Amino acid sequence: MSAGQVVGSRPQGAGVVVDGSSLALELLLTKADYENEPAIRIAISAMHKKDHDLEVQLADAVKKDASTRFLQQRYLVAAVRERCALVMKGGVRLFAHVKPDRFIEIQNSIGVLASEDSWRSSPNCCARS
- Parse the chain into domains and list their residue ranges: 3-95, 96-129
CA-to-CA distance for 104 and 111, rounded, in angstroms?
10
User: How many Cα atoms sit within 13 Å of 82 on the Cβ side?
Assistant: 7
The predicted structure's pLDDT at residue 92: 81
The HSE-up count of residue 103 (CA atoms within 13 Å, CB side) is 12
| Residue 49, pLDDT score | 60
Per-residue pLDDT of the chain (129 residues; tens, 9 = 90+): 455 556 667 777 777 777 777 777 778 888 888 899 888 888 877 656 666 677 778 888 888 887 777 888 888 888 888 888 888 888 887 777 777 778 788 888 888 778 777 766 665 555 444
Q: Rounded to whole angstroms, what are the CA distances from 129 to 18, 113, 120, 124, 126?
A: 31, 27, 17, 10, 10
Specify the pLDDT at position 1: 46
The three-point CA angle 34-40-45 to 5° equals 115
CB within 8 A of 56, min separation 6: which ones? 21
Beta bridge partners of 37: 34
- Would you state the pLDDT for residue 31? 86
Asked if residues 22 and 16 have their Cβ atoms less than 8 Å apart, the reply is yes
